[in-house]
Structure 1
Amino acid sequence: MLSPASAATVRASLPAVGAAIGDITPIFYDRMFAARPDLLRDLFNRGNQANGSQRQALAGSIAAFATALLEHPDERPDALLARIAHKHVSVGITPDQYPIVHEHLFAAIVQVLGEAVTPEVAAAWDEVYWLMANALIAIEARLYEEAGVEPGKQWRTYRVVSRFPETDDVTTFLVRPEDSDPLPASKPGQYVSVQVELADGAHQIRQYSLSGHPDGALQFAVKRDGEVSTFLHDKVAAGDTLRVSPPFGDVSLSEGDGPVLLASAGIGATPIVGMLSQLVADGSERRVITVHGDADEFAHAFRTDLNHYTAKLDSAESHVWYEKPVGEWPAERTGYVDLSRLDIPAGTTAYLCGPLPFLRSVRTQLITAGVRPADVHYEVFGPDLWLAQD
């Protein structure tokens, strides 16, 4: 995909750019938000900017894309691009915003690397950027079309039908469209974006995995964590309205009859419960293994749903670990998730959701148990830092 001259230049300069990208991205974001403060107020999550996670994710994605172009010149890294594209359309990224990013990103690169950015280096990395940007623009256009919305106009008004607690810090919201149009199509494991107006007038966005869509409504759970989630917990009641995107997400339960392992930790149980509910609705006969890790019984959201859905599937089994169980619990289920005791059948497809350390640990255990790396799919809430930490 890269021209031969640019490939050679990127290969030679990648170590320097990769080493400096942690310095480049803060300058880039500071420049961009100074020029376009509306982007931070209405598009980018301020919490993720403040803690640096969004910047780490950008650094990881750029380095990963450039590396993929060099290592597999005849292949497009579709998995990486799809994950980014789904996140982009869920918050309303549009093609006209890519030149804005380009302008401030390359100004930051020059500011950090100085004379090392020769015309040849600048041209090569410009090629990398536009290969990635144009691929994302094309994928995002298709996703917008499939969702039946114009680019950047993904918001629809929903009314909160009800809300109820799952645990002390997790609340489920049931929302239904204000208009008479049908619910958007969704796949088990996908998420919606929710936009709220905060006290200072900023419109902030957060994604929440769907845990089901009963009675013509969408259902998602919110853990009290961050500006948007705290606002939903404290300010939004039944009868209020919310701006909600169509469901997006590249990690969803695939069709088929092979065995499935669903592993979660903490609030990562949300999409897993959505997948389980779909398996029950389909009357699935697949072998299903569910795995969950949590602090204790009282922190475990959807514990009742997990037991309910597992009992309805003839070939399903559930395994739960609590770090510090409050009541009596078998010794082998105390501590962190340990898959070595489980019989994981050949041909298993695994879906993981939870904090990054959990994802890394369970993925390693699954591969050790013989699951193909290509069959391990993961979802992480917030910016995807997996690539940034590799």
Structure 2
Amino acid sequence: MLKQQTIHLIKNTIPVLETHGAEITQIFYRRLFQQHPELLNIFNHANQRQGKQQNALANAVYAAAVHIDHLENILPVVKQIAQKHRALQVRPEHYPVVGQTLLDAMKEVLGDAASPEILEAWAEAYGVIADVFINVEKEQYAAAEAAPGGWEGFRRFVIERKVEESCVITSFYLIPEDGLPIASYEPGQYITLRVQPDGQDYKQLRHYSLSAAPGNPYYKISVKREDAASGRPAGTISTWLHDNAVPGTVIEVSAPAGSFVLDGSSDAPLVLISGGVGLTPMVSMLETALNRQPARSVTYIHAAVNGRHHAMKEHIQDLTAKHAQLSSYFIYESPQADEICDQSGYINTDFLQHHTNPNSDFYFCGPQPFMASVYRSLKQLGVTDPRIRYEFFGPAGSLEA
């Protein structure tokens, strides 16, 4: 339990964090990697370059301050972050290093405003929050290892097949090198790959959603090639997978993780909405729902640039033909002359109003602007928050306008 004086001091820093939170986290990461370069083997370098990780940490620190007197309010977020920490193999010994570096960054940015009393209060609060993370992650590590086919740390997998799904998305089928069983997973979860491409100084870790229903002797991931674009460098791992990984290539993998999963206990109509490569967890959920809940009404809506960019189209069409409970729709931003789709342009409120029931359970995934648009439409249609679930690829952001 935190002392009331500590809670009071932390609460008083909320306005400061609103103003200086981003600067504090930028300096935090700079200091962290200067003093502990070995941690570059854990952090996603692309998210660092784009500022996503810094923003996510600033939001997390701010949320901790706001809820410091009721930390149970942020437990769902803690569990979600802990899933990623477990997948990345974050360990208890990392927390003191992070805590001290965060305090040093606060001191550097705030100067005299970061009094000894405030820094002491944050040190006490960080210790309590770190203990929560460590305990949650301890349970998750134990569960991942104890599960049938589970394991600790990273395990060597071999690419069995490599299948081109569209002009930008390729699927990889991974089987364990040791030939032993693999852990099952919940539809919507991801695995974490660890590779060190030639020319890279550090190992690179990336989360990839599993893009098939559980129950197979392999893990299937479907990866979009992220080429360089204006203001954004090419994706190190996605381009390596597309250009260099072939059947027989060995990749290290941590056990499945993630809290964005299909609620199989609900019998409400199910609506799955994806944009681009956001279809990966949606297809896993779709296949699972059709297999396990044959009486449940399911609607699947996918948006792509055009047919060349549309992955797994034939697979979804086959599922729709086989399952009377399933309706599927395709929206193309810029369809080519010979392409047929259900709507050109974008998914909008009118389309969702005509093709979905607001009392459905909605799951969606894709680029952040896409998800923000879907979220706004669902709110306009009166869909309640408990029925809305979504997943960010990378650090969590906000869909609130």
2:138 counterpart of 1:141: yes
Match of 1:313 in 2: 323
Q: Which amino acid aligns with 1:224?
A: R
Cα deviation, residue 10, structure 1? 2.1
Residue equivalent to 1:165: 164
Structure 1 partner of 2:36:
36
Are 2:247 and 1:238 equivalent residues in the alignment?
yes
After superposing on structure 2, the runs of 4+ consecutive aligned residues of structure 1 that deviate more than 4 Å are: 328-332
Between the aligned partners of 1:44 and 1:173, the Cα distance in structure 2 is 23
Residue-by-residue CA offset, 1:7-31 (whole Å, 9 max, x unaligned): 3222221111221111111211111
Task: Please state how far the C-alpha of 1:132 moved relative to its aligned partner.
Answer: 2.5
Q: Please, which of 356, 373, 377 is the counterpart of residue 365 of structure 1? A: 377
C-alpha separation between the residues in 1 aligned to 2:2 and 2:371?
32
TM-score by length of 2: 0.90
Q: CA deviation at 1:367?
A: 2.2
Three-state SS of the structure 2 residue aligned to 1:59 is helix
- Identity within the alignment, %: 33
Q: How does 1:108-123 map to 2 (within 5 A)?
A: 108-123=105-120
Counterpart of 1:216 in structure 2: which amino acid? Answer: P
Residue 324 of structure 1 and its aligned partner are, at CA, apart by 0.7
The change in CA–CA distance for 1:190 and 1:102 in structure 2 (over 3 A counts) is same
Aligned to 1:344: 356
Cα displacement string for residues 188-217 of structure 1 (whole angstroms, at most 9, x for unaligned residues): 010000111121342101111001157411
Q: Evaluate the alpha carbon distance shift between residue 153 and residue 35 of structure 1 in structure 2; reply closer, same or farther with a 3 A threshold.
A: farther
Distance 1:252 1:345 in 2: 21
Query: How far apart are the structure 2 equivalents of 1:82 and 1:7?
Result: 23
Whether 1:334 and 2:333 are equivalent positions in the alignment is no
Q: 1:247 aligns with which of 231, 253, 256?
A: 256
Inter-partner Cα distance in structure 2 for 1:35 and 1:148? 32
| Alignment-mate amino acid for residue 278 of structure 1 | T
One-letter amino acid of the counterpart of residue 9, structure 2 = T
Question: Could you tell me whether the CA contact under 8 Å between 1:169 and 1:223 is conserved in 2?
Answer: yes
On the 8 A contact 1:285/1:313 being kept in 2, the answer is no
- Measured in 2, the distance between the counterparts of 1:300 and 1:192 equals 23
What residue ranges of structure 2 are gaps of 5+ in the alignment? 227-234
Which range moves more in the overlay, 175-184 or 330-339? 330-339
- Alpha-carbon distance, 1:329 to partner: 6.4
Q: Does 1:288 align with 2:287?
A: no
Moved more, 210-219 or 250-259: 210-219
- With a CA cutoff of 8 Å and minimum separation of 6, indicate the structure with the bigger relative contact order: 1
Equivalence for 1:78 = 75
CA deviation string 1:142-187 (max 9, x = no partner): 111111179x942111111110101122110001111232111201
For 1:267, which of 274, 277, 287 is the aligned residue? Answer: 277
Instruction: State the distance in 2 between where 1:228 and 1:196 align.
Output: 8
Q: Would you say the 8 A contact 1:194–1:244 is kept in 2?
A: yes
Taking the aligned partners of 2:57 and 2:292, their CA distance within structure 1 comes to 38
The aligned counterpart of 1:58 is 57
SS in 2 for 1:211: coil
Structure 1 spans left out of the alignment, 5+ residues: none
CA distance in structure 2 between the aligned counterparts of 1:221 and 1:329, rounded to whole angstroms: 23
The answer to which of 299-308 and 185-194 deviates more is 299-308
Amino acid at match of 2:378: L
State the 1:106 CA deviation. 0.6
Q: Deviations over 1:63-109 (max 9, x none)?
A: 12322335xx2733222112211111111101110111011111010
How big is the shift at 1:235?
A: 1.1
Question: Which residue number in structure 1 is paired with residue 225 of structure 2?
Answer: 224
Matched AA of 2:222: A
Asked if structure 2 preserves the Cα contact closer than 8 Å seen for 1:174 and 1:218, the reply is yes
d(CA) in 2 for partners of 1:46, 1:153? 24
Q: Does residue 375 of the first structure (1) align with residue 387 of the second (2)?
A: yes
For 1:359, give the aligned amino acid.
M
Task: Give the Å deviation of 1:6.
Answer: 2.4
Distance 1:335 1:95 in 2: 48
The answer on whether the counterparts of 1:283 and 1:313 sit within 8 Å (CA) in structure 2 is: no
Q: Secondary structure at the match of 1:192?
A: strand
Q: 1:76, 1:130 → 2: CA distance?
A: 17
Q: CA contact under 8 A between 2:144 and 2:152: conserved in structure 1?
A: no
Cα distance change of structure 1 residues 217 and 112 upon mapping to structure 2, 3 Å threshold: same
Displacement of 1:270 after TM fit? 0.7
Task: Indicate the residue corresponding to 2:10 in structure 1.
Answer: 10
Q: Distance in 2 between matches of 1:79 and 1:135?
A: 12
Counting matched residue pairs gives: 385
Q: CA RMSD in A?
A: 2.2
CA distance in 2, matches of 1:331, 1:306: 13
- Is the Cα–Cα contact under 8 Å of residues 265 and 294 in structure 1 kept in the other structure? yes
Q: Which residue identity lines up with residue 365 of structure 1 in the other structure?
A: S
Tell me the alpha carbon deviations over residues 289-319 of structure 1, each in whole angstroms, 9 at most, x when there is no partner.
2122111111111222222223333222112
Give the conservation status (yes or no) of the 8 Å contact 2:307–2:339: no
